Structure 1
Amino acid sequence: MDQENRIGQGRAWTVVALLFFYTMINFFDRLVLGLSAVPVMRELSLTPAQYGLIASGVYWLYAVSGVAVGLFLVNRVSTKWLLVGLVLIWSVAQVPAALTSSLSVLIACRVLLGIGEGPGSPSAYEACHSWFPPEKRNLPTAIFLQGAPVAFLVGAPFLSWVIVEYGWRFSLLLCSSLGVIWIVAWFALAKDGPFSGSAAKACAAGDQAVSPVPWAALWLDRTMIGNYVLGFSSYWIVGVTVAWQAPYLQMGLGYDGKVVGWLIAAMTAAQPFVLLTISYLSERALGNGASSRVARGAVNAACLVASGILLAAAMMIEGAGFTKLALLALGTTLPSVTTVLGAAMVSEIAPTSQRGTALLVTYSAITVAGLLSPLTMGYAVQAAGQAEGFVYGYLIAAALLVLAGTLGFLLLDPEESKRRLNAISSESQVDRQSSSQLGVSHAG
């Protein structure tokens, strides 16, 4: 039995490691366009607004794709095969983008990339959470999500070097190749975990609301609504950072193209430490008896309020410099806590049979922010000029974060949500049993 447990734990952490590289490649695919922004705009004679249109293209069908997969595929297709299909789409989308000079083709390729990436992170949540019980999901989720900051930390200087030495087109083909390599490794080593399926397993895992609840009750739950709000504002920062952080450093603050990659890496270096530390302390607090409302909800909300204040402070500092970059780095790092604590709260309150759909729909719908934020920044820069436009764009993001965090303190309450959903589940069971007995009585 001990040997079986060790084998199971070994497989669980193998899956987490593979999901780490999955997340890293995902962000390589997104980061490469931002790092290529200046040479792409110069070579194709694009305006900032046109570049913003290309950058936002990845999000045009991002949410639609994720919601569709959540509603129609996640409960019918193994997560293992689902992730293979998604990464295949990412890899294929990069090839025509590398071979064209057409604005329309570039946009189409980014849209296709978004179709594959839309269900990506939520599907990874489901793959990870299927290997761990509810109270143990913070840390493994935080670990595999470190693929994103590592992509910035390693990918920013590496891809910047590739772009300068070999061109932006070669960098796209390189990202495509990494996706194919990951598919081979995932296919050979991964499988769905023991907490992925039946109500019996859900009960053994400690989930409270075992029986399904009406979808309307779940979608309109206060904690779910809080996660929509916090997730949207968090993803607004993702959209701004991926599409505009490198152009801001180069066009807004005047740094050289080769230096920008290293600056992004340095600004991202603290993110793994911050996210892992907060996730670990939150999980430890839960283990010591703290409520999820405090250990997950309040911590999540506080991080967003703090990030908004830090971004606003960074924009108040004239010119470039260490303090400005440090505030910008921490301000764009703290919202990522939502990707761990928010997803854990959704998994905590959703019945296991509905968890995959809840994660996919929630964390796909919020990515609409990734469509809006690059466009907003692009039009701000074009309308107000590079110096003031970037400031306005970041101040809009700061205000959104503070508002969302404030609402989070009021809305996020997983314990109350579980009690409410349990009561609804029990009522539904009684109604079904009564209807069944009534049917038998009539038949008799």
Structure 2
Amino acid sequence: MAVRAPRPPAAPGRTDTPGSVRAWVIVGMLVVLMGLNYADKLAFGLAANPIIDEFDLTATQFGLANSVFYIPFFIATLGVGFLADRTSTTWLLGGIAVLWGLSQFSMVAAAGLGMIIFARLLLGASEGPTYGLVNHASFTWLKESDRSLASSLLSAGGSLGVMVGAPVLTWLIVDHGWRMAFIVSGAASILWCAVWLFIGREGPLSDRRRRAGKRGGDSAGAGAERGPDAGRGAAPASAAEPGPDPGFWRIVTTPTFIAVSLAAFAGNWSISVKLAFMPLYVQNVLGLTEHETSLYIVVGQLFTMLCVYVALAFVIKTMMARGHSGRVARGVLGGACVLFAGACMIAFVLLPGLPLKLAVSILAALVLISFPVGSTVIGQITPTRRRAGVLGTYAALYGLAGVIGPFVTGLFADAGATEAAGLDNGLLFWGALTLVCGAVAIAFTRPERDAERLAARAAAESADR
């Protein structure tokens, strides 16, 4: 009786390959998760007045409840980022979605400030790692040329969450009480987790999948990272390819990493200051009504989603597909957008006429392209096995702007001769900071060069050993 030789492991099917339909379904799920991320955060701000009234909170206590959100945010962003280098992102993403739900349900059960602070701490700890994780998870399913588009869509998910969440949550708060908004947003996060556990899985470009393939004798995944786009806008033989490990500190001290982190810092400064002070400014200084302010926010989100995260992402994807380097398509174009946004914020303060002011402030949202550009550039220079930790570090660094930006702007507002003059100074500082960060991004974002240097140093050190 002949002994049957064992079958070689099956090659990945067409539905389990980089850029397949399944890959974009995964990206779609992650876009929904980003939308829920912003909707969960939005609920607390929209319910501010009824929460303050019910628990008899002072403005300082309510401010504390907002601030504590960021204490575990950065710690978790760093820690979970490094954990994702060793653990399946499928389970990590499902776990943080469940924690979001639990934090929202904790708010429903709140009987005082202590429980509110607990819920905010839990939400901050679980939401902190999200942006880095969703980018890392999507990159394991996509070719280099598709990653800018995916990262932009993920960023657009936040805008979509605000656009959909604001009217829905407001309706729930007004007609059914503020607790119902937290029940619905928490349940949505739990439901997403249930669907994700059926759909989500590690992508074919995951380092874990690659190692498993090598153990099983499957070489199909070993070179998958390069794919058909190798040599077309991607860094050949770069640090992002399998090979010697350049090391975490080498990666995060490259000029490219520092430059894209600064650009994203300017982007997050924009988000945090707009959320905290722009409604106040347009109403108290420019004279807009609450309805007009709401319309202004919706128009701004539409511009951000359609023009920044979608249209501009297609431009970058097309440039990469036509052979432009990451230096040009991502570094120069992305940095120019940040630079232009800084000029727009300065113009917002200095230009006469309400329509012109509002128009240039909406154009300033171009700074937000720094998030998907930074994520994809980091994907170019970082090995897959290091990418989650590096993306987590990137998110933690730019996240600091969320703590610093509103505080500094408040200092300017208090120091001004009038509220309007103080806020003007704060916005001018915001514009000047963004100009500097944009210039740094243009000058120092060179992913191909830094990837080659990292790979060369790692190879040399490996040969010496």
TM-score normalised per structure 2: 0.84
Distance 1:163 1:317, change over 3 A: farther
Q: 1:208 aligns with which of 212, 220, 238?
A: 238
Cα displacement string for residues 310-343 of structure 1 (whole angstroms, at most 9, x for unaligned residues): 1222233578x43333222221x21221111111
1:437 counterpart residue number: none
Partner SS state of residue 77, structure 1? coil
Write the distance in 2 (CA, Å) between the matches of 1:92 and 1:246. Answer: 30
1:349 counterpart residue number: 381
**Is the 8 Å Cα contact of residues 16 and 204 (structure 2) preserved in structure 1?**
no
Write the distance in 2 (CA, Å) between the matches of 1:93 and 1:379. Answer: 31
> Which amino acid in the other structure matches residue 376 of structure 1?
V
**Is the 8 Å Cα contact of residues 157 and 262 (structure 1) preserved in structure 2?**
no
Q: 1:157 aligns with which of 150, 153, 167?
A: 167
Write the distance in 2 (CA, Å) between the matches of 1:259 and 1:178. Answer: 30
2:13 counterpart residue number: 4
> Which amino acid in the other structure matches residue 126 of structure 2?
G
Cα displacement string for residues 87-119 of structure 1 (whole angstroms, at most 9, x for unaligned residues): 112111122334436444433322221110111
Distance 1:37 1:314, change over 3 A: farther
1:334 counterpart residue number: 366
**Is the 8 Å Cα contact of residues 139 and 279 (structure 1) preserved in structure 2?**
yes
Partner SS state of residue 437, structure 2? helix
Partner SS state of residue 264, structure 2? helix
**Is the 8 Å Cα contact of residues 90 and 116 (structure 1) preserved in structure 2?**
yes
**Is the 8 Å Cα contact of residues 100 and 126 (structure 2) preserved in structure 1?**
yes
Write the distance in 1 (CA, Å) between the matches of 2:297 and 2:148. Answer: 26
The answer as to 2:320 corresponding to 1:286 is yes
Write the distance in 2 (CA, Å) between the matches of 1:368 and 1:171. Answer: 28
**Is the 8 Å Cα contact of residues 52 and 378 (structure 1) preserved in structure 2?**
no
Q: 1:62 aligns with which of 73, 78, 95?
A: 73
2:3 counterpart residue number: none
Q: How much does 1:386 deviate?
A: 4.7
1:435 counterpart residue number: none
**Is the 8 Å Cα contact of residues 35 and 160 (structure 1) preserved in structure 2?**
yes
The answer as to 2:410 corresponding to 1:410 is no
RMSD: 2.7
**Is the 8 Å Cα contact of residues 66 and 365 (structure 1) preserved in structure 2?**
no
TM-score normalised per structure 1: 0.88
> Which amino acid in the other structure matches residue 399 of structure 1?
A
> Which amino acid in the other structure matches residue 268 of structure 2?
Y
The answer as to 2:183 corresponding to 1:173 is yes
The equivalences for 1:4-403 within 5 A come to: 4-6=13-15, 8=17, 9-37=20-48, 40=51, 51-71=62-82, 73-100=83-110, 102-197=112-207, 198=210, 201=221, 203-206=223-226, 208-209=238-239, 210-211=242-243, 212-249=245-282, 253=286, 255-257=288-290, 260-274=293-307, 275-316=309-350, 321-331=354-364, 333-381=365-413, 384=416, 386-403=419-436
**Structure 2 residue ranges without an equivalent (≥5):** 1-9, 212-218, 227-236
**Structure 1 residue ranges without an equivalent (≥5):** 433-444
Q: How much does 1:165 deviate?
A: 3.2
> Which amino acid in the other structure matches residue 152 of structure 2?
A
Write the distance in 1 (CA, Å) between the matches of 2:422 and 2:57. Answer: 17
Write the distance in 2 (CA, Å) between the matches of 1:104 and 1:382. Answer: 29
Write the distance in 2 (CA, Å) between the matches of 1:346 and 1:66. Answer: 16
**Is the 8 Å Cα contact of residues 35 and 261 (structure 1) preserved in structure 2?**
no
Q: How much does 1:261 deviate?
A: 3.7
**Is the 8 Å Cα contact of residues 269 and 401 (structure 2) preserved in structure 1?**
yes
Distance 1:242 1:30, change over 3 A: farther
Distance 1:153 1:109, change over 3 A: same
Write the distance in 2 (CA, Å) between the matches of 1:234 and 1:74. Answer: 25
Distance 1:15 1:252, change over 3 A: farther
Is the deviation greater in 99-108 or in 62-71?
A: 99-108
> Which amino acid in the other structure matches residue 310 of structure 2?
L
Distance 1:85 1:379, change over 3 A: farther
> Which amino acid in the other structure matches residue 4 of structure 1?
G
Write the distance in 1 (CA, Å) between the matches of 2:112 and 2:247. Answer: 47
**Is the 8 Å Cα contact of residues 147 and 376 (structure 2) preserved in structure 1?**
yes
Aligned length: 429
> Which amino acid in the other structure matches residue 389 of structure 2?
T
> Which amino acid in the other structure matches residue 30 of structure 1?
K
Distance 1:298 1:50, change over 3 A: farther
Write the distance in 2 (CA, Å) between the matches of 1:380 and 1:402. Answer: 19
